[in-house]
A and B are shown apart, each in its own frame.
Chain A
Amino acid sequence: MERGIDNKTILDRFALDFVKIVEKHCKYIIVSGFVAIAHGRSRGTEDIDMIIERLSRDKFAKLHNDLLKNGFECMQSEEFDVVYEYLINKTSVRYTYKDEFLPEMKIKFAKDEIDDFQLKTRKKLPFTGLDVYFSSIEMNIAFKEEYLRSDKDLEDARHLRIVYKDKINENEINEIKKMIKRVRKK
């Protein structure tokens, strides 16, 4: 069976619709749970996590207004300067389709060298059938095993390890784990 448009889930379509707007304005990556779910992990989620490059107030205003114009709304506020305050204070903000409570796109600005590295090494992952950028599989596994570490995260990592068996770069995972220890756990 071919994976065509009919096999796109509600989350897939939401991600594609959102990315179509975001990619006109900045570099982005999708990270965390949806990476595993887009690879077939069988668990629910209401949201997708996205990291975008740090934007000036003016550039973010253009992105925010474009999202509103194209049928999205921000749960925190309609006013871009309120939303921008959240982002520069390292707090994520959430967008949904207008008048829908979910799914949500939870976005935040890149906050440190790890996020910058994730953006720099972003990848499209053909296995997902989705034309969007993700943080690398190695990055996701390292984060889930070294930093997040809930049962759900460890199961996500296990799933990705099996799906990408023999294709995973263990040295890269170990290097990323060292970076996480140095930058996030100091």
Chain B
Amino acid sequence: MPKLYTGAEIVFKCLEEEKVNHIFGYPGGAVLPIYDELKNHITIKHILVRHEQGAGHAAEGYARSSGKPGVVLVTSGPGATNVVTALTDAYMDSVPLVCISGQVPTHLIGTDAFQECDTTGITRPCTKHNWLVKDIKDLQRIMHEAFKVATTGRPGPVLVDIPKDIQFAKTKYVYLKKEKKIEIKNKNRFNQKDIDQLIELMNKASKPIFYTGGGVVNSGPKASELLRELVALTGFPITSTLQGLGSYPGNDNQFLGMLGMHGTYEANNAMHDCDLLINIGARFDDRITGKIDEFSPKSKKVHIDIDPSSINKIIKVDLAIVGDVTDVIKSTTKTLKKKNINLEKSNKQKISKWWQQIEKWRTKQSLNFINSDKIIKPQHAVQRLYELTKDQDTFITTEVGQHQMWAAQHYKFNKPNRWMTSGGLGTMGYGLPAAIGVQVANPKKLVVDVAGEASILMTMQEISTAIQYNLPIKIFILNNQYMGMVRQWQELLHEKNYSESYSEALPDFVKLAEAYGCVGIRAENPDELDEKIEEMISIDKPVIFDCHVDQAENCFPMIPSGKPHNQMLLGPKDQEENKITGKGKALV
């Protein structure tokens, strides 16, 4: 007679086999059997959050900074509904999460029982797949399949809903090796012909550009190395989306900076004027393309993506290569080398004109701002933070808004998996819990959440989690007392009617930090900034850094609504000439 295990035990056996070391969660009635089993599994550490949304974002931060799937454990009803924002966020940004939720016992499903909700129904549109386990015999298979689905192809969140009686029920456990291999969708579909075609296009191009995205980061650290090699080999300029930052060194000369709505002048103009656009692991998001009809009108377009449904979804491309970024770049470089085509040399003359044009755009210095010695400019604060932390391996998370864009513009990333931000969904409150997850996955590393004072208040409670587990995250708040991005749009589009974008009654963040049991630091003028940032870095405890910045500062450059890439707003001086028209306003 083989040994029988309870559902709760099987959950942990599966987690152990999947090499899970951390789970983020919050207990409740319908998951108590699983929590009861926790003590018997010392290799799995549970991080108790203060709200289930925090568990989800922490798991996202964990996943993005480590490359491993993040695991979340929540109870039924409100536990599950609270995690929905994080699941949607992970779905939009392709982050592998496995969420385990408790459910009321099978015989009570559908009776409106206490803390019952249709979890699989609610999470169906925001997960890659979800399962309601109705039979204990299915539990093991589903758990392993959940990890497979979350981590293969284009990664994303999955959810396994386990009724309480299933957690108590008993069955056999078969170790994974004996299980027949679970079929994987999304195999590599590209072939050598595609690569040859790509190289032919590269050969012909005189104004080429690489446009890289989060797919490079998701493909693993190897992809970033290969990308660097390919870019060096070709001599082409490269720009990156918000999610792709770090896959190519931010301070390299071939890097044009981020593109898109708040991208650099040179990156956006190069996208507009290029004759060959090579998209590697990005998805032509609407914050990138601007006006679709006028998006990169003169270029041949190549799209490399693991997800076939990303191709031709928004922008029709001339060559689609479906496959893992690592494999595609590897084949491309190999073929380039084999054919002994040194694009940099053979194309040098053609491309050198292109580079001259790019250098001309660069002279605009579109990220410049007018600094002040009386008041801290938010861009200056990010620059100082960068300068003072760049010599150590620093991980940056952000909330959502102006501070997020300033961080993306002024913090230069040199490695992948160092930059965690909510891009697709734009979830305010993402950064603090994400920083917790990052710190859990990367103990001893410096983790900074570049935050806004409005965003941070959405998930402030999680600072308590950081203190409980001695996670010395740094919350660097660019405090302008406004929902800055909302205020900026109201200024530009709604005649400065700052409707509900000012926070009248902000807490004293220093006292708040002390109340939670961590350290609060305030900086109010530029002279003290460096010294205080250094103080923050030196403290081996969570710190809330309240950086008072210019309230009126706007985030530039910017592609205004309804304009193509080559019509950017370039900061205060440029604004008068480029008023946004009435129609564009309505459609923002």
Chains A and B come from one and the same complex: no
Interface residues of A (CB under 8 A from B): none
Interface residues of B (CB under 8 A from A): none
